[in-house]
Structure 1
Amino acid sequence: MGSFEDPRQQRKPKPWIETPLIESTSLSQAAGWLTFPLRAIGNLVLSYASDPANQGKQLHFFIASAGNAGLAAAFAANALSYPCTVCVPITTKPVMVAKLQEAGATVVQHGANLDEASTHMKSIMDALRGKPADGDSAVPVVPIALHPFDHEKIWEGVSTMVDELAYQMPPREDEAESGEFDDESLPIDGIICSVGGGGLMNGIIMGIERQERMYGKARAGSTYTNSTERRNNIHIIATETQGADALAQAVAKGSLVSLPGITSLATSLGAIRVAQRTLDNALYPPAGVKVHTLVLHDADAAKGVLTLAEDQKLLVELACGICVETAIGPTPSRRKSKLQGKRVNGHQKPFSPVNDYGTQTEVQSYLRRFIPNLNSKSRVVIVICGGSNVSLEMAAEWRQKLEEGWGTENGIVA
């Protein structure tokens, strides 16, 4: 969906609204940039609609989703005048169901998680396949299943966000002053994103790889301060909530893990198993990229939601709030912690404050655990992945629960 950018700065028209990169010094001196992608599912829908093999056919899109991917599918399908059915788990909040219906989707609630909703969706598709479309008996329905995160076109759509970062992010201060540009296609030290099945993270890594390739070609014919490698790795902090931490558990085991269910309130992260590409990227990221997993409590996600609401006047859901809390926490006034350094099956065990909290008086921020030499000039981008499954009433409820001690379980000191 759309075209990919040439390295650094070439702008081309796109069939989506370019998402802004917002400097947010109120959140943190180190993590001061926010970006808001909404393009992955749209790219997948458009790829099917524009396929010559589907011309003249009555497509009907189906997706199993905890909410946000379904909402994107409904908007994209509606924009192209195609019907869309979204199958959601029974845990999906009424506010999200209403938004899906307002976007033009037919909503079916079934099952306790995405896998169960997906299985039910396939039975609906099988019953519909080949039947005549409404009002035109000559045109049979062609049901198309959209995977919410495990598809090349999903990652490709997300990757365009990185192209926008490449020309939106201003040069580093030392480069601007000297007029000499370093060997970085992306002058960024870290990117914080949440992980459900991993579509967002995979797309970010795909975009970084493309920028490095494209910039490398441009670099070959130019003079730069370093001509072989970028100055620093880009550290991706892949955040999850306890009870929706399929990636962290897979990294610890060294192979895919299926959760028995989703117990986190961050239902948009409710994939019981990540894509194989997600695990591969976490264990064996491409050159110039380091991936770190971080598991926090639902209460941490709520703190991030409230912080963003207070500082930026933006109301987002728990799946987004967890990224904000990753950028600014923990602080001495909120909790005490220690970094666990054990290795499991040859892999670093993911740090999980829910399980790994100690009684040390010295507190190290999450960012400092993962990004070497972090300082006030470091560039860390916080990806706000979606904010539909939230309301003012929900935020007020989370605030009250925090005031009553939510998050102090399991030895966590709030």
Structure 2
Amino acid sequence: MELADLEDAARRITGHVRRTPVQVVDAGDPWLPAGGVLKLELLQHTGTFKPRGAFNRILSARERGELDPRVGVVVASGGNAGLANAYAAAALGVPATVFVPTIASPTKLRRLHEYGAVVVQAGTEYAEAHAAALERVAETGAVHCHAYDQPEVCAGAGTLALELREQLAGLGREVDTVLVAVGGGGLMAGVATAFEGDARVVGVEPESAPTLHEAQAAGEPVDVAVSGVAADSLGARRLGSIAWEVAVRCAVHGVLVDDDAIVEARRAVWERYRVVLEAGAAVPVAALLSGRYRPDRGERLAVVLCGANTDPSDLVAAAGVPS
């Protein structure tokens, strides 16, 4: 995947996705030094970055004549890719069937039905739902929309980083390091491609789902056990092949955080900024708050906050605000 693929994706999905804002962090904030910025991609349609890749995948398939409007698309997802593809399919007038593991959150399941998707629960992990989805694709001829390991999906995800670059330039700011969550790695691949040669990318993941960490240790993607508070969104069992190629090429630095740090980061972002994050989206902040990633003095940071599909009631209780 190259920068040109991201630029093509940006042109293709214009008008279908939101341009999400950036928030400049207050100068002197101890957890994001040097006046860094937050990319608020949680404000995207469906509450995550995923519609960027979903629209790029479906529109590309339609351009190539591969999309049968009678059977539409099939996707396996812990929830967010399913939401994105259901939303994109509805917007483009085609049906969507979403295979989800039984750990998918009730919030995400409810919204899948609201978008008009046919929802099939299969297995306890993403990998099992994915296998069932492939069977449905073979039976029906539907377009398969992978949650994270297709070129169009990764390139679409990377369009948020093209936006971020433009927004930083408009603010007269530069960035040395971009922190981003890693599950299957599609978002990381897109962000690293966008910033290749200009900024370091740090991929942060839970200790309980260490796909990037284990791939870097083994020299190739390998299966990992998946559990923990972020498993519904960062629940891939193996890093994607595109993500691995980009991680090697761009020297992506991997960082692990534990569940306690993720929970605390999610609460901290709510208390300081009144921004509601799902657990998977809080992992880059967790790396900073826990000290798992320690910026150098003067290092200019950008943090991608990529999703908000969660029940916020525990955040409200934690902050002492009446619900």
Q: TM-score when scaled to structure 1? A: 0.66
Work out whether residues 155 and 206 of structure 1, in 8 Å CA contact, stay in contact via their aligned partners in 2: no
**Does the alignment pair 1:391 with 2:314?**
no
Contact 1:64 1:114 in 2 (8 A): yes
Higher radius of gyration, 1 or 2: 1
Instruction: Give the equivalent residue in structure 1 for 2:32.
Output: 28
> Match for 1:242 among 200, 207, 226?
207
CA contact (8 A) 1:85 1:108 kept: yes
Specify the alignment match of 1:374 in structure 2.
Answer: 297
Pick from 272, 284, 294: which aligns with 1:323? 284
Asked if the contact 2:40–2:304 (Cα under 8 Å) also holds between the matched residues in 1, the reply is yes
Q: CA deviation at 1:152?
A: 0.8
Structure 1 Cα separation of the partners of residues 64 and 307 of structure 2: 28
2:44: which partner in 1? none
Residues 113-167 of structure 1: per-residue CA shift (max 9 Å, x gap): 111111122333344x2xxxxxxxxxxxx41111110011112112222222222
Instruction: Give the structure with the larger helix fraction.
Output: 2
1:43 aligns with 2:7: no
2:192–2:252 Cα contact (<8 Å) kept: no
- Are residue 15 (structure 1) and residue 16 (structure 2) matched? yes
Change (3 A) 1:171 1:126: closer
Match of 1:4 in 2: 7
Structure 1's 315 and 254: CA in aligned 2 closer, same or farther, altered over 3 A? same
Q: What is the correspondence of 1:273-288 to structure 2 with a 5 Å cutoff?
A: 273-285=238-250
Spell out the pairing of 1:9-408 with structure 2 (5 A cutoff).
14-25=15-26, 26=29, 27-30=31-34, 32-37=36-41, 38=49, 39-54=52-67, 57-127=69-139, 129=140, 142-170=141-169, 187-209=174-196, 234-259=199-224, 261-267=225-231, 268-285=233-250, 290-330=251-291, 366-368=293-295, 373-375=296-298, 378-388=299-309, 390-395=310-315
Residue 110 of structure 1 deviates from its aligned partner by 1.1
Instruction: Give the CA deviation at 1:283.
Output: 3.1
Q: TM-score, normalised by structure 2?
A: 0.84
1:161 counterpart letter in structure 2: L
Taking a change above 3 Å as real, the CA distance of residues 113 and 238 of structure 1, as seen in their structure-2 partners, is same
Inter-partner Cα distance in structure 2 for 1:190 and 1:30? 12
Partner SS, residue 192 of structure 1: strand
Change (3 A) 1:17 1:251: same
Distance 1:53 1:96 in 2: 28
Q: Which residue identity does 1:118 align to in structure 2?
A: H
Residues 110 and 394 (structure 1), Cα distance of their counterparts in 2 relative to 1, 3 Å cut: farther
Judged with a 3 Å threshold, the aligned counterparts in structure 2 of structure 1 residues 273 and 13 are, in CA distance, closer, same or farther, namely closer
Structure 2 residues not aligned, in runs of 5+: 42-48
Alignment partner, residue 45 of structure 2: none
Distance 2:6 2:188 in 1: 20
Q: Hey, what's the Cα distance between the residues in 2 that align with 1:170 and 1:144?
A: 38
| Counterparts in 2 of 1:3 and 1:254: CA distance versus 1, 3 Å | closer
> What SS does the corresponding residue of 2:246 show, helix, strand or coil?
helix
1:30-52 deviation digits (Å, cap 9, x = unpaired): 36211134212221122123334
Q: Is the 8 A contact 1:367 1:374 kept in 2?
A: no
Residue 316 of structure 1 aligns with an amino acid whose one-letter code is L
CA contact (8 A) 2:208 2:228 kept: yes
CA RMSD of aligned residues (A): 2.6
Q: C-alpha deviations, 1:361-381, integer Å up to 9, x for none?
A: xxxx6133xxxx432xx3211
Count of residues in correspondence between the two structures: 298
Report how far residue 106 of structure 1 moved: 1.4
